[in-house]
Structure 1
Amino acid sequence: MNREELRKRALSLVSIPADFKPIIEEYAEGENGEGEAIFSWANEEKDKGITINLDLVGNLTSLSIDMDDGRDPNPVPLEVEERKERAEQFFLSHYPDALSDLTFYEIKKLDQAFRFNYERIIMNLPLKSAGCFIDVDQVGNIIKFSYKVAGHIPEIPTILISKEKLIEHEQNRLDFQQTITNLYTIIHDVEEDDLRLVYEPEPSFMKYRADILTPTLSIIHDEDVPETYVPLPPSNTTKQKDLSIKEVIGIREGMEIIREVDMGGETGIVWRDRNWEMKDQDLSIDGFFKRHSEDTVKAFISKKTGKVRSFMWFNERSGDLKLTHEECLQKATDFLQMILPDYHKYLQLIVRENEDEVDDTRKNEAFSFRIHNGNGIPVQLEIVIVAVNRETGQIDHYSGPSFDMEQLSQIPTEPAISKKEARKIFFSHLDFELAWNKDYDEETESHILVYQACDRFTRTPIRYIDAMTGAVITAKDK
């Protein structure tokens, strides 16, 4: 189908509300005739929208519907089985023969819907990145759909490594390091920031090809770039009190808020010059991102503290300065003093080996900082970033911690559980299970069978051992 035929096909699949306007019409075709068309309509003031993806024959590959259409605010919810029937009716209406290859696999309960997953099963295991999911809301409406046909069907290995060999291998190589983690970033049902002193297995990535015997066990991971950490001196400036959000970010006169979005624990705010106009009404994906991002300033504000958690300038600022690396670092530390008092107690500058020499022609100088508890114990998965504009001396990008830094002073500095005890607890829970993974070493899409580590009781990945209680901390989802 051509672009216009695909657009008509998309419009035949959904009813577009009168207050929705087209925001994306994208048509992409590859060298071999493969490709897709994307059509999206939205009421951007209400942050509601509909998106449809079609292949170039006109088959529906994905659908997302988010709209406030005046339905009963207190509906009588359908039973799960009836929703499942609705899901299958919808799926079969588009792909009548799909269930001859796919098997109903699981149900997941979401906030406002149930998700029904249909997978291509081999060796009683689903293929990754292949299959279908369908979200059905309380009254039976299909609000999300995605279907991807499996490409190359993998061969079943003739021989597998024993799990006992894998566990023995881990016992010989694993160490355990003290770290601090924010459980909010690991376990999704933790509502508040919950910093814990924990032991983390090192290396933490435990995934193996299932069909290669020792001593050629192959660990699938990318090598980390070595890093060193440099302590930071206190800033030369004093903290400026009671600065507004606009003053922290540098919002200038003549800029206005064009979007404000509730992000759960944060509020997203976007500013742009009041007189800005889009030059071309381009409905491509590139045009969409230009309308949403070009010449904007985006920030995330913590609802809990009311403070700026991060911001990014997409509105280019120019000047006559030519700041050196050292001068930019001073600007960055001055900014940190303003936004994170006593930062020098908890931050260390990250210096990566094999980095290119400083390029004095680039416009921004970016610095990354590791967070620790004041005694050298790092906060896992937390990095502070400050990017300084070399021409203006202004901060073009800041990304701060996901928690209130004052909490670090409340974290115990000494564990109640020894490393030896943590190790024993970890291995009493460690198990491995088989799974199909995409094989990124192959040019064409294919899968390999792997063993991935899990907790023998919950079957979810083990992340940490609590250093105070000995509790096993696992991820919520696989």
Structure 2
Amino acid sequence: MDREQLKQKAQSISKVPSHYQLMIEDYGEKYAKESRAFFAWQDVEEPQRDISVELDHHGRLISLTKEYVPVVAESLPEKRLLEIALQFTEQHYPNAPHEFVFHEKKETEQFVRFTYVQTVLDLPLPQTGFYVRIARNGEVMEFRYNGGTSSFSIPKQIADKQSVTADYLKHIQFELAVEKIRSELYEGGDDRPHLIYEADLPFFSYPADITEKRHMKPAADDEDEEETLPLPLLPEADRHADIDDMIGFTPSMRKIRETDMGDSTGTVWRLGNDPQPRDRSIAGYFETWNQNTLKILKDKKSGKLKGIASFIKSEGSLALSGEDCLKRALQFLYKLYPDADQLFRMHPAENDGDRPNAFFQFDLQYKGVPLRFGSANISINRTTGRVVGYHGPEIEPEALADLSPSPSISEEEAKAVFASSFDVQLQWERDYSREKDDFYRLVYRPVYPYFIDAHDGKAFMGKNM
């Protein structure tokens, strides 16, 4: 199909309302025969509502996504929703509902998602088949077709499950750390920090074919671990920094977006007028989307700054050295955490003077116990001296006040709890080491507790495992 035919086909499939504006029109010619056309429309009055369609060069539907929640006056029965989902699929791939096997159904208050996959040995092949997400009123909100494959290897002899389990448990090591156990990720999570034992698995997956060699993950070499340094004590005279000035926020900026991100709120501010897109390609769209913007993430309860990303064009006369940039990064960190020297250790800076930004990492410590995701990462622009990137630690120091850093159970006891919940399951896995990246091999994949509470021995399993 030519460009105009592809666009018309995408519009007819998605039923784009007349008040939506075309934002992306990308034909991906650089991919030659495998090129795909991508279109996205946006509601002029409500920019967070959009519709996107992806087609192959023959005009066959690859994906459809509608980003909004439709008004549901009456919910249809689940059986009817499945009929509508399969009818939609058959319009574009007549044989797909018969070629693939029903795999799972996921439900929310507004939507139901049906997934069909290709199976071999009664096990699903990842990223095959198709899925349809449908609103309770019967509107198709999302569709994706992945198709099938014949590129898989069936083992002549499958390794014994018990021996695989024993091999895993024999090589597993544990590390003590502090982790925030998120309720949306882990069974029994309470969104609070815990002292935990974390298992370091020796294999990401274990080949089910006994003729294949397993590749054990190399043990960490303590000598190669980077030593962190105490934080320099910043003189009081250097602590009077203004956060807004350091990140380049000015009253003249306009707030163009705000997003609820659970515990945090993200806002996007733009300096100057909205830029004109250079074209409607995907790259051009995101270039315009980010141009001259400052993205700020703040904690909902405390209002504390959690992250920033600046896309404002850097213009300045400075040529800061690595030492100058470090001083500014420390000023920023001490402004956010006045007791930073007692809370953080810093990684040795290895900043190339030719790069526009200098990067620094500060690790939050709690009485000698490392915190997973406990780093403050700061980027300083060498010409403006501004903070152009910041990602704060996931756990705030005050949340650790009542947490004992000494475990109540031993590592051996944690291993026993871990072993009682450990299992391996046969699954198909894509083998990206081959030239053909859709090749699948059969493996044993571990199912295990991500963390063991070091005080009460509770095992935290990941959700949807």
CA distance in structure 2 between the partners assigned to 1:191 and 1:464 by the alignment: 11
> Contact 1:209–1:218 at 8 Å: present in 2 too?
no
Q: Deviation at 1:438?
A: 1.2
Equivalent residue in structure 2 for 1:143, among 141, 144, 157: 141
Q: Which moved more, 1:308-317 or 1:180-189?
A: 180-189
Gap change, CA 1:223 and 1:120, over 3 Å in 2: farther
Secondary structure in 1 matching 2:460: strand
Gap change, CA 1:89 and 1:222, over 3 Å in 2: farther
Equivalent positions of 1:160-309 (< 5 A) are 160-184=158-182, 187=185, 193-203=191-201, 206-212=204-210, 216-219=213-216, 226-237=225-236, 246-247=244-245, 249-278=247-276, 280=278, 282-309=279-306
Which residue identity lines up with residue 409 of structure 1 in the other structure? A
Q: Deviation at 1:142?
A: 0.9
Secondary structure in 1 matching 2:182: helix
Q: Deviation at 1:319?
A: 2.5
Give the corresponding residue for 1:8: 8
Give the corresponding residue for 1:329: 326
Give the corresponding residue for 2:151: 153
Cα deviation, 1:272-292, whole Å, max 9, x if unaligned, reads 223353263x11101110221
Secondary structure in 1 matching 2:144: strand
> Contact 1:43–1:49 at 8 Å: present in 2 too?
yes
Equivalent residue in structure 2 for 1:464, among 435, 451, 458: 451
Gap change, CA 1:185 and 1:398, over 3 Å in 2: farther
Secondary structure in 2 matching 1:477: coil
Gaps spanning 5+ residues in structure 2: where? Answer: none
> Contact 2:272–2:292 at 8 Å: present in 1 too?
no
CA distance in structure 1 between the partners assigned to 2:202 and 2:179 by the alignment: 14
Cα deviation, 1:337-389, whole Å, max 9, x if unaligned, reads 1112322323222359xxxx64211111101222222x121111343210011
Q: Deviation at 1:424?
A: 0.9
CA distance in structure 2 between the partners assigned to 1:223 and 1:56 by the alignment: 47
> Contact 1:347–1:372 at 8 Å: present in 2 too?
yes
Q: Deviation at 1:219?
A: 3.8
Q: Which moved more, 1:387-396 or 1:422-431?
A: 387-396
Q: Which moved more, 1:45-54 or 1:188-197?
A: 188-197
CA distance in structure 2 between the partners assigned to 1:37 and 1:123 by the alignment: 35
Gap change, CA 1:347 and 1:242, over 3 Å in 2: closer
> Contact 1:313–1:396 at 8 Å: present in 2 too?
yes
Q: Which moved more, 1:35-44 or 1:318-327?
A: 318-327
Cα deviation, 1:226-266, whole Å, max 9, x if unaligned, reads 433223233224797996x7456331353222222223332
Give the corresponding residue for 2:128: 130
Q: Deviation at 1:217?
A: 2.4
CA distance in structure 1 between the partners assigned to 2:219 and 2:196 by the alignment: 24
Q: Deviation at 1:453?
A: 0.6
Gap change, CA 1:437 and 1:226, over 3 Å in 2: farther
Q: Which moved more, 1:464-473 or 1:326-335?
A: 326-335
Q: Which moved more, 1:317-326 or 1:389-398?
A: 317-326
Cα deviation, 1:440-468, whole Å, max 9, x if unaligned, reads 1112121121111114xxxxxx2011111
Gap change, CA 1:223 and 1:419, over 3 Å in 2: closer
> Contact 2:414–2:457 at 8 Å: present in 1 too?
yes
Secondary structure in 2 matching 1:251: coil
Q: Deviation at 1:439?
A: 0.9
Q: Deviation at 1:96?
A: 0.9
> Contact 1:239–1:338 at 8 Å: present in 2 too?
no
> Contact 1:209–1:219 at 8 Å: present in 2 too?
no
Is 1:366 aligned to residue 359 of structure 2? yes
Which residue identity lines up with residue 202 of structure 1 in the other structure? D
CA distance in structure 1 between the partners assigned to 2:401 and 2:114 by the alignment: 45
Secondary structure in 2 matching 1:410: coil
Gaps spanning 5+ residues in structure 1: where? Answer: 456-461
CA distance in structure 1 between the partners assigned to 2:368 and 2:327 by the alignment: 23
Give the corresponding residue for 2:65: 64
Q: Deviation at 1:220?
A: 7.0
Q: Deviation at 1:269?
A: 1.3
> Contact 1:55–1:61 at 8 Å: present in 2 too?
yes
Q: Deviation at 1:205?
A: 5.3
Secondary structure in 2 matching 1:254: coil
Cα deviation, 1:412-441, whole Å, max 9, x if unaligned, reads 211111111001111121111111111111
> Contact 1:436–1:447 at 8 Å: present in 2 too?
yes
CA distance in structure 2 between the partners assigned to 1:175 and 1:20 by the alignment: 55
Gap change, CA 1:363 and 1:306, over 3 Å in 2: same
> Contact 1:363–1:389 at 8 Å: present in 2 too?
yes
Give the corresponding residue for 1:459: none
> Contact 1:236–1:334 at 8 Å: present in 2 too?
no
Gap change, CA 1:317 and 1:238, over 3 Å in 2: same
Cα deviation, 1:145-190, whole Å, max 9, x if unaligned, reads 1111133430211122222222222233222111111112872688
Q: Deviation at 1:68?
A: 5.9
CA distance in structure 2 between the partners assigned to 1:322 and 1:248 by the alignment: 16
Gap change, CA 1:264 and 1:389, over 3 Å in 2: same
Q: Could you tell me the percent identity over the aligned residues?
A: 31
Give the corresponding residue for 2:445: 452
Is 1:320 aligned to residue 317 of structure 2? yes
CA distance in structure 1 between the partners assigned to 2:310 and 2:45 by the alignment: 22
CA distance in structure 2 between the partners assigned to 1:178 and 1:238 by the alignment: 38
Which residue identity lines up with residue 134 of structure 1 in the other structure? V
- Number of aligned residue pairs: give it: 461
Q: Deviation at 1:393?
A: 2.1
TM-score, reference length from structure 2: 0.91
Pairwise CA RMSD: 2.7
> Contact 1:237–1:337 at 8 Å: present in 2 too?
no
Which residue identity lines up with residue 462 of structure 2 in the other structure? A
